[in-house]
């Protein structure tokens, strides 16, 4: 039976979620072989997302049935205040299944999705949101430029060519370094990459003084939660390969698909980049709360105060 | 860069959600005071769900900013396979704030929400399915009788006036043991208990199936609903940690949308609150024994009374606590400590 009054009923305020939720999907079924550096890569993803994002956000990590060692570590990061919402799934629901949960449940009005191997660079979030808010009817904004099949961006290109006030430019805007750093991260051979570089081009739009490259991709993007609801639920049959349809469907539905014109994100894949290997990815717990709150949470002080709290409760109940 | 091929791309089948998802919220900011037995009570709730749910189901827990000890314990239960999906929130988003996230996220066709202090009894799901099959347009189904104390919660406004001859409406008092148990579980006064013993409950019977149900609302402790119905009432208002008014918003919306809100005529749930009632200790112990020790669940039973209440210092403090000014001071201290440790 209930004894006493639940103190939560006396509380007048409640924490509100940030306007932006950054959701990272993780799956490390073991910590060897292909996944040997997976946990370091995930930590680098989280740390670089947090570093100078330019706007506040809540970090949500969806763990899609990783091994216990990984889930333990994620709980520790959550306890340290690095992850605001941690979702641990017992089984792998596939990327589509995880997306169904993330895009339905994430509390932010704006949602950034990222695979767990994305490395971010300072300013990435503010720049992405700028494009989302300046251009009309934006479906997806990816935080780096790269070249894509033109078919999945046909609507954006048509919009750029036909809308007054929009300047559309075509050419080779990505230098070889920027182009190759991305395609090499996918394991592409140099010869193949050179051929792609020479036979494709970039298309850029400028609108109200803001420039964006045409294209976006399902591995990392910013979107509005309301926009995504029309695309749910995703097919959940297989662990991977079911989410490419989002690129095609957004294009077909008349949403703009845009990228930042310079790289604010990079694909790490399953190995940690050299510059992040030397102790740079250590996650520092954020100091939260006032001095008194932190003092009260010191172990011996906390014990004494909680004992006092317990005694007062029992006095009145 | 990528080395090798991601083994997950090999075409392995992804896990599919069960038709039924059962969800609860946990909020235990400290393991003292009001929350002293809350973790044990949650485990009893979990055991009762597993013992008495006659269908495959996914079990979701949203931890709404509990203390680290509780989060660790939840993680252990998740690792042991007793929790399918565990959501850990850094902060308390309020009950409805957490529900907004969890209920929107759950992929199951049917969703049952229950507070983490609800004890499930055998037959609850079968009884709910029977009601769903017997009455049209069911929105929310409750597995316990609710004695309504807010007129607005009653719901079923249109259904009460239905000319459909397949349904027979009546009023009746609940059996005395049900009213007594209901009030004991909620710590109701004797006066309130008497009101409920005399209260006439609205009942409906299906002539075709013989199924009976009470027309009721107040679903905030437990409900079973289709996911597509829940989507229509989200988001719930979420400005407070725990608010009766925000809790009952869902009942009003269900009624406004024209869905039925029905409960079983037998309590298939028991509200445990924050302590184990001696009257249900044997029922709990029986369920715990059936669950078996192999699962690693702690065998919870009500704790013996603590001896320290007998000592002189305690008696002196108890006397002091009755003086108005010291009572005010101590309660302010209590609330401030709660604020510190719950955020």
Which residues does B254 contact at the CB level (< 8 Å), separation at least 6? B139, B140, B155, B217, B219, B229, B233, B261
B246 in A contact zone (CB under 8 Å): no
Q: Is B340 domain-assigned? A: no
> Is position B257 within any domain?
yes
CATH number at residue B63: 3.90.550.10
Instruction: Judge if A299 and A225 occupy the same domain.
Output: no
Residue A205 lies in a domain: yes
Question: Based on the domain organization, do A30 and A175 belong to the same domain?
Answer: yes
Check CB contact of A206 with chain B, cutoff 8 Å: no
Q: Examine residue A11 and state whether it is found in any structural domain, yes or no.
A: no
In a domain, B331, yes or no: no
Q: How sure is the predictor about B288, in pLDDT bands with cuts at 50, 70 and 90?
A: confident
Domain presence at residue A10 = no
Flag whether A8 is in a domain: no
Using the Cβ of B280 and the Cβ atoms of chain A, whether some distance falls under 8 Å is answered with no
Do residue B185 and residue A1 have CB atoms under 8 angstroms apart? yes
User: Is A145 within the bounds of a domain?
Assistant: yes
Residue-wise pLDDT tens digits, B61-118: 999 999 999 999 999 999 999 999 999 999 999 888 999 999 999 999 999 999 999 9
Token pair 């249109």: residue: B158
* A273 in Cβ contact with A119 (< 8 Å): yes
Note whether A193 and A270 are same-domain residues.
yes
Closest to B301 in 3D by CA, of B44, B39, B118, B30: B44
Chain B residue with CA closest to A30: the answer is: B7
State the Cα–Cα distance between residues B299 and A61, nearest whole angstrom.
33
CB burial string B172-202: b at 16+ within 10 A, e below: eebeeebbbbbbbbbbbeeeebeebbeeebb
Q: With beta carbons under 8 A apart, name residues in chain A contacting B75.
A: 71-72, 75, 88
Q: Average pLDDT for residues B286-300, to the nearest whole number? A: 63
The domain containing residue A95 runs over which residues? 20-276
Residue A301 maps to a domain: yes
* B242 chain-A contacts, CB cut-off 8 A: 6, 8-9, 11
Handedness of CA A91, A94, A95, A98 (dihedral sign): negative
Q: How confident is the model at residue B271 (pLDDT cuts 50, 70, 90)?
A: very high
- Arithmetic mean of pLDDT, B30-46: 92
Q: Which residues on A lie below 8 Å from B271 (Cβ)?
A: 1-2
pLDDT value of position B337: 74
Per-residue pLDDT of chain A (317 residues; tens, 9 = 90+): 667 667 666 666 778 899 999 999 999 988 877 788 999 999 999 999 999 899 999 999 999 999 999 999 999 999 999 999 999 999 999 888 999 999 999 999 999 999 999 999 999 999 999 999 999 999 999 999 999 988 999 999 999 999 999 999 999 999 999 999 999 988 889 999 999 999 999 999 999 999 999 999 999 999 999 999 999 988 766 555 567 788 999 999 999 999 999 999 999 988 888 888 765 444 444 445 577 777 777 778 877 877 777 677 666 65
**pLDDT for res B18:** 96
Q: What is the dihedral of CA A236, A241, A247, A250, to 10 degrees?
A: -10
B252 assigned to some structural domain: yes
B15 pLDDT tier (thresholds 50, 70, 90):
confident
Q: What is the pLDDT of residues B223-258, one digit of tens each?
A: 999 999 999 998 888 765 556 666 677 888 888 888
Rounded to 5 degrees, what are φ and ψ at A110? -110, 140
Domain tally, chain B: 1
Single out the residue of B104, B112, B98, B107 nearest to residue B26, CA to CA.
B98
- Determine the pLDDT at residue A301: 82
Q: Does B321 touch chain A (CB under 8 A)?
A: yes
Confidence at residue B58, expressed as pLDDT on a 0 to 100 scale: 97
With an 8 Å Cβ cutoff, are A71 and B93 in contact? no
Facing residue for B93 by CB, picked from A1, A15, A317: A15
Closest partner CB to B107 (pick from A12, A83, A101): A101
Calpha distance B109→B107 (Å, rounded): 7
pLDDT of residue B295: 57
Residue B302 in domain: no
Residues B118/A110, Cβ–Cβ less than 8 Å: no
Helix B278-291 vs helix B38-52: crossing angle, to nearest 10: 60
Indicate the helix (H) or strand (E) that contains A43. Answer: helix A38-50
Spatial distance between the Cα atoms of A254 and A163, rounded to a whole number of angstroms: 13
- Is B297 a member of any domain? no
Predicted local distance difference test score (pLDDT) of residue A73 = 95
- Which residues between 254 and 293 in chain A have a beta carbon less than 8 angstroms from any beta carbon of chain B? 268-271, 289, 292-293
- Is residue B164 assigned to a domain? yes
Q: Compare CB distances from B104 to A16, A84, A105 and report the shortest one's residue.
A: A105
**Confidence (pLDDT) at B8:** 61
Are A306 and A213 within one domain? no
**Gap from B287 CA to chain A (nearest CA, Å):** 18
A132 and A69 within one domain: yes
Mark whether A74 and A40 lie in a shared domain: yes
Q: Which residue among B65, B275, B335 sits closest to A1, beta carbon to beta carbon?
A: B275
Same domain membership, residue A140 and residue A54? yes
B301 band by pLDDT with thresholds 50, 70 and 90: very low
Which residues on A lie below 8 Å from B7 (Cβ)? 29, 33-34
Task: List, as ranges, residues 98-137 from A with C-beta within 8 Å of B.
Answer: 100-102, 104-107
On whether the CB atoms of residues B77 and B46 are closer than 8 A, the answer is: yes
Among B9, B71, B277, select the one facing A241 at the smallest CB separation: B9
Q: Does B328 touch chain A (CB under 8 A)?
A: no
C-alpha B239/C-alpha A12 separation (Å) is: 8
If asked whether residues A166 and A307 sit together in one domain, one would say no
- Check: CB of residue A49 under 8 Å from CB of residue A265: no
Range of the domain at B49: 20-289
CATH at A136:
3.90.550.10
Of residues A205 and B202, the one with the higher pLDDT is: A205
Same structural domain, A101 and A160: yes
Decide if pLDDT at B305 tops 50: no
ipTM over 0.90: no
Determine the Cα–Cα distance for residues A64 and B9; give it in Å rounded to an integer.
Answer: 14
Q: How confident is the model at residue B151 (pLDDT cuts 50, 70, 90)?
A: low
Q: Same domain for A227 and A304?
A: no
Q: How many CA atoms lie within 13 A of A12 on its CB side?
A: 2
Task: Decide: helix, strand or coil at residue B17.
Answer: coil
Half-sphere exposure of A150 (CA within 13 A, CB side): 9
Mean pLDDT value across residues B143-153: 73
For residue B236, being part of any structural domain is answered with yes
The answer as to whether A153 is a domain residue is: yes
Cα-to-chain-centroid distance, residue B120: 9
pLDDT on residue A280 = 46
3 state SS of B168: strand
What's the pLDDT score for residue B147?
Answer: 86
Q: CB neighbours of A176 closer than 8 A, spacing ≥ 6? A: A197
Q: Note whether A50 and A175 are same-domain residues.
A: yes
- pLDDT value for A13: 72
pLDDT for res A281: 46
Higher confidence at residue B36 or residue B129? B129
Asked if the Cβ–Cβ distance from B102 to A307 is below 8 Å, we say no
Number of separate domains in chain A? 2
The strand pair at B118-120 and B138-142 is best described as unpaired
- The model's pLDDT over A108-125, given as tens digits with 9 standing for 90+, comes to 999 999 999 999 999 999
Q: How far apart are CA A144 and CA A167, in angstroms?
A: 20
């Amino acid at each position: 039976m209930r004894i006493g009054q639940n103190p939560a009923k006396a509380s007048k305020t409640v924490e509100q979620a940030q306007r932006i939720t950054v959701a990272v999907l993780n799956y490390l079924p073991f910590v060897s072989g292909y996944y040997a550096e997976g946990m370091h890569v995930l930590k680098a993803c989280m740390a670089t997302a947090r570093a100078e994002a330019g706007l506040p956000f809540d970090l949500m990590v969806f763990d899609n049935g990783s091994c216990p060692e990984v889930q333990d570590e994620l709980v520790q990061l959550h306890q340290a205040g690095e992850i605001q919402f941690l979702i641990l799934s017992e089984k792998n629901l596939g990327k589509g299944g995880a997306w169904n949960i993330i895009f339905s449940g994430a509390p932010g009005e704006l949602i950034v999705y990222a695979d767990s191997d994305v490395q971010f660079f300072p300013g990435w979030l503010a720049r992405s949101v700028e494009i989302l808010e300046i251009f009309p009817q934006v479906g997806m904004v990816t935080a780096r430029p790269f070249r894509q099949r033109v078919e999945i961006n046909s609507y954006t290109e048509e919009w750029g060519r036909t809308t007054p006030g929009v300047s559309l430019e075509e050419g080779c805007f990505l230098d070889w370094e920027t182009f190759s750093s991305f395609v090499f991260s996918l394991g592409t051979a140099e010869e193949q990459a050179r051929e792609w570089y020479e036979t494709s081009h970039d298309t850029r739009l400028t609108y109200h003084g803001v420039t964006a490259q045409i294209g976006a991709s399902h591995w990392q993007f910013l979107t509005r939660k309301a926009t995504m609801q029309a695309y749910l639920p995703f097919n959940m049959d297989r662990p991977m390969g079911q989410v490419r349809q989002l690129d095609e469907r957004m294009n077909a539905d008349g949403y703009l698909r845009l990228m930042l014109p310079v790289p604010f994100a990079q694909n790490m894949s399953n190995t940690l980049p050299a510059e992040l290997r030397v102790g740079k990815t250590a996650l520092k717990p954020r100091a939260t709360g006032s001095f008194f709150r932190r003092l009260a949470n010191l172990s011996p002080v906390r014990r004494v105060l909680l004992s006092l709290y317990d005694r007062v409760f029992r006095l009145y109940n | 860069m990528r080395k090798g091929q991601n083994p997950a791309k090999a075409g392995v089948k992804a896990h599919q959600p069960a038709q039924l998802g059962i969800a609860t919220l946990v909020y235990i900011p400290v393991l003292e005071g009001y929350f002293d037995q809350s973790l044990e009570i949650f485990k009893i709730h979990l055991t009762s769900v597993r013992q008495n749910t006659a269908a495959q189901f996914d079990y979701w827990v949203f931890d709404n900013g509990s203390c680290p000890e509780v989060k660790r314990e939840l993680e252990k239960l998740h690792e042991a396979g007793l929790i399918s999906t565990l959501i850990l929130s850094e902060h308390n988003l309020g009950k409805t704030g957490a529900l907004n996230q969890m209920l929107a996220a759950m992929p199951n066709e049917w969703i049952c929400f229950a507070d983490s202090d609800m004890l499930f009894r055998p037959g609850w799901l079968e009884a709910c399915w029977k009601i769903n099959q017997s009455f049209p347009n069911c929105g929310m189904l409750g597995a316990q009788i609710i004695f309504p104390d807010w007129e607005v919660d009653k719901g079923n406004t249109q259904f009460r006036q239905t000319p459909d001859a397949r349904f027979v409406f009546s009023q009746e008092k609940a059996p005395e043991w049900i009213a007594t148990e209901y009030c004991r579980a909620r710590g109701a006064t004797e006066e309130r208990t008497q009101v409920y013993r005399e209260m006439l409950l609205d009942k409906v019977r299906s002539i075709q199936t013989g199924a009976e149900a009470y027309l009721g609302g107040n679903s905030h402790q437990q409900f079973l609903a289709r996911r597509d119905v829940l989507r229509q009432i989200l988001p719930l208002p979420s400005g407070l940690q725990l608010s009766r008014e925000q809790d009952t918003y869902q009942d009003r919306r269900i009624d406004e949308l024209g869905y039925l809100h029905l409960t079983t005529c037998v309590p298939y749930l028991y509200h445990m609150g924050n302590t184990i009632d001696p009257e249900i200790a044997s029922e709990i112990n029986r369920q715990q024994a059936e669950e078996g020790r192999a699962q690693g669940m702690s065998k919870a039973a009500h704790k013996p009374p603590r001896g320290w209440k007998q000592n002189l210092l305690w008696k002196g403090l108890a006397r002091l606590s009755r003086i108005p000014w010291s009572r005010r001071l101590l309660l302010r201290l209590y609330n401030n400590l709660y604020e510190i440790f719950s955020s």
